[in-house]
Amino acid sequence: MATSTSAQPRDTWGSKLGFVMAAAGSAVGLGNIWKFPYTAGESGGGAFVFIYLLFVIFIGFSVMLTEFAIGRKTGLSAVGSFKSTDKRWTFTGVLGVLSGLLIMGFYPVVGGWALAYIFKVGGGLLSTPEAIGDSFGGFISHPMQPLTWMGIYLLLNVVIVMKGISGGIEKAGKILMPLLFVILIIVSVKGLMLPGAMAGLEFLFMPDFSKVDGNVVLAALGQAFFSLSLGMGCMITYGSYIKKKENLVQTTGMVTAMDTGVALLAGIAMFPAMFAFGMEPAAGPGLVFVVVPQLFAEMGGAVGLVLALLFFIGLTVAALTSSVSLLEVVVSYLIDEKGLKRSTAVIGSSVVMGLLCIIASLSLGGVGPTLFGTGVFDIFDLLTDKIFLAVGGMLVCIFAGWRLSRSDLEKEITNDGEISFPLFGLWYTLVKYIIPVAIAVVAVMGIKSGFDSGKGAIMLLGIGIIVLTGIFSKKL
Ligand code: PHE
């Protein structure tokens, strides 16, 4: 069982591999397999991928290490870790909890799609390949169907998080993540063998920088943060469960590499096939649900069916190991800071998330409120991925660089000098100076482009929410 208050000794991960797999489980999810390919497709391909990789290496790695170090040092979750050091920083944690809540306002909708596709594939979806595209469009805009699946998906989260951290999450991740990886490799090989597939690889890996604007750069930064589960206290919370003798640098390296590897592999699995099928790279959020089933249909027979089933089972589990980490951020805040029982915290927060998801899901069928012409699903996505996570990551770096002492950080990261980390100085400089400035520059560029593409008002709304969080979080 996980601990309930910070006064008790904190539950730690069962084994080293268990922790790496759990953190990788949080990172690898819909962000890699659903979001990365379609965002790359919409953002022009190679140049986006190139910038995303730069951000992962120079920003993502350092921010993840920072979050692990803060979490393990304080032994507290998102809000408590800041609050216990300096009350004025509480708002950074609160912003993280808010991000968790909002991401969980749309993530389970997509998780529900993945779950539904296990049954759709089982029910004969692959036997009519021509209908796969329309079937997806019809499904997500249907009022009730996706809501039912979302509800079931959310319930699975509740069951896992209710059991506490090392019970459910660790086991599921250990078995199903490697399986998903293998299936992605099989799908990639199959896709690459199709005639005309090379154009897809070129699209994905040959940068055409004429397609880059502020929007693309911000999308790449947001993708790096979203995919690595950064900027919202998730890795701080997970870090608080890491044993003192674990090597944080190595763990960060492994998690970052796995996450990025899966994203690239998902791209390789999808783009060659798309080009071979003559589909549009900018097909949007339906990409994985349309291209992958078509590929399996192409394989035909029992092999195609079994692989398709395993793929969507794997995708659902990958999504689950991520969404439970999002839920855990909100839940551990309610337990640690508000003194709620785990069961009350889990049920209370998932009811709110469920309500947000209902509005988000309906918005895809054109039902419900819009703001500046944008539906709720997209608003939650834009606010978190394009604004809150990046700002959260920037604040984490400023906190570590300017509020914590260099020697404390060095002690935490090197386990009191036991582990050598020759790049400590570089990491520290990145965290203290370069990353905050880089994020600020990207954010300003992105907001400017946001205005050009009609999304500026939502970005301003996001900044407004951050300011309000700053003002009101003193009460939390
Ligand atoms: N990284 C997860 C994914 O790629 C999503 C996530 C974001 C999880 C932020 C936790 C925190 O699907």
* Dist. CA 420 → ligand 1 center (Å): 30
User: Residues 399, 82: contact at Cβ < 8 Å?
Assistant: yes
* Dist. CA 103 → ligand 1 center (Å): 8
* Dist. CA 111 → ligand 1 center (Å): 12
Residue whose structure tokens are 């997500």: 140
Cα separation, 314 vs 361, in Å, equals 22
User: Residues 310, 183: contact at Cβ < 8 Å?
Assistant: yes
Per-domain residue ranges of the chain: 16-369
Average pLDDT for the chain: 91
pLDDT band at 172 (very low <50, low <70, confident <90, very high): low
Which residue has a Cα nearest atom 9 of ligand 1? 229
Q: Write down the pLDDT at residue 282.
A: 82
Tens digits of residue pLDDT in 10-68:
666 666 677 788 889 899 999 999 999 999 999 999 999 999 999 999 999 999 999 99
Ordered DSSP codes for 43-62: TTSHHHHHHHHHHIIIIIHH
Residues 6+ apart with CB under 8 A from 217: 51, 442, 445, 446
* Dist. CA 356 → ligand 1 center (Å): 18
* Dist. CA 404 → ligand 1 center (Å): 26
The model's pTM: 0.94
Question: Could you tell me the CA-to-CA distances from 159 to 156, 198, 320 in Å, in that order?
Answer: 5, 44, 11
Query: Which ligand 1 atom sits closest to the C-alpha of 323?
Result: 8
* Dist. CA 217 → ligand 1 center (Å): 19
Q: Write down the pLDDT at residue 455.
A: 84
Which of 39, 106, 226 has most ligand 1 atoms within 8 Å of its beta carbon, as the pocket-test mutant?
A: 226
Report residue 382 as tokens.
């834009």
Q: Write down the pLDDT at residue 432.
A: 98
Q: Write down the pLDDT at residue 95.
A: 96
**Angle, CA 105 vertex, CA 81 and CA 36 arms, to 5°:** 90
376, HSE (Cβ side, Cα atoms, 13 Å): 21
* Dist. CA 407 → ligand 1 center (Å): 31
Report residue 460 as tokens.
């301003």
Q: Which residues have any ligand 1 atom within 6 Å of their CB?
A: 26-27, 29-32, 103, 226-227, 229, 232, 234, 322, 325-326
pLDDT band at 4 (very low <50, low <70, confident <90, very high): very low
Average pLDDT value for residue range 86-99:
95
Q: 171: part of which helix (H) or strand (E)?
A: helix 168-192
Query: Which ligand 1 atom sits closest to the C-alpha of 259?
Result: 4
Residues 6+ apart with CB under 8 A from 235: 23, 26, 64, 67, 68, 71, 228, 229
Q: How many CB atoms lie within 10 A of CB 92?
A: 28
122, pLDDT greater than 90:
yes
Query: Which ligand 1 atom sits closest to the C-alpha of 34?
Result: 12
Per mean pLDDT, which range of 2-6, 41-45, 205-209 is the poorest?
2-6
Q: Write down the pLDDT at residue 9.
A: 60
User: Residues 353, 108: contact at Cβ < 8 Å?
Assistant: yes
Which residue has a Cα nearest atom 6 of ligand 1? 229
Assigned architecture for domain 16-369: Orthogonal Bundle (1.10)
Which of 98, 325, 329, 353 has most ligand 1 atoms within 8 Å of its beta carbon, as the pocket-test mutant?
A: 325
Q: Write down the pLDDT at residue 38.
A: 94
Tens digits of residue pLDDT in 248-292:
999 999 999 999 999 999 999 999 999 998 888 888 888 999 988
Tens digits of residue pLDDT in 175-201:
778 888 898 999 899 889 999 999 999
* Dist. CA 439 → ligand 1 center (Å): 19
Average pLDDT value for residue range 401-424:
96
* Dist. CA 350 → ligand 1 center (Å): 17
Query: Which ligand 1 atom sits closest to the C-alpha of 31?
Result: 4
Which residue has a Cα nearest atom 4 of ligand 1? 31
Q: Write down the pLDDT at residue 112.
A: 98
Share of the chain above pLDDT 70, in %: 94
Question: Could you tell me the CA-to-CA distances from 246 to 20, 76, 249, 321, 394 in Å, in that order?
Answer: 10, 17, 9, 22, 26
- Give helix 168-192 / helix 301-338 axis angle, nearest 10°: 140
Higher pLDDT, 397 or 20: 397
Query: Which ligand 1 atom sits closest to the C-alpha of 32?
Result: 4
* Dist. CA 165 → ligand 1 center (Å): 16
- Biggest distance spanned by C-alpha atoms of the chain: 62
Question: Could you tell me the CA-to-CA distances from 230 to 133, 265, 295 in Å, in that order?
Answer: 33, 21, 32
Which residue has a Cα nearest atom 7 of ligand 1? 229
Cα separation, 363 vs 361, in Å, equals 5
* Dist. CA 104 → ligand 1 center (Å): 10
459, HSE (Cβ side, Cα atoms, 13 Å): 21
Which of 322, 388, 389 has most ligand 1 atoms within 8 Å of its beta carbon, as the pocket-test mutant?
A: 322
Share of the chain above pLDDT 90, in %: 68
Tens digits of residue pLDDT in 454-467:
888 888 899 999 99
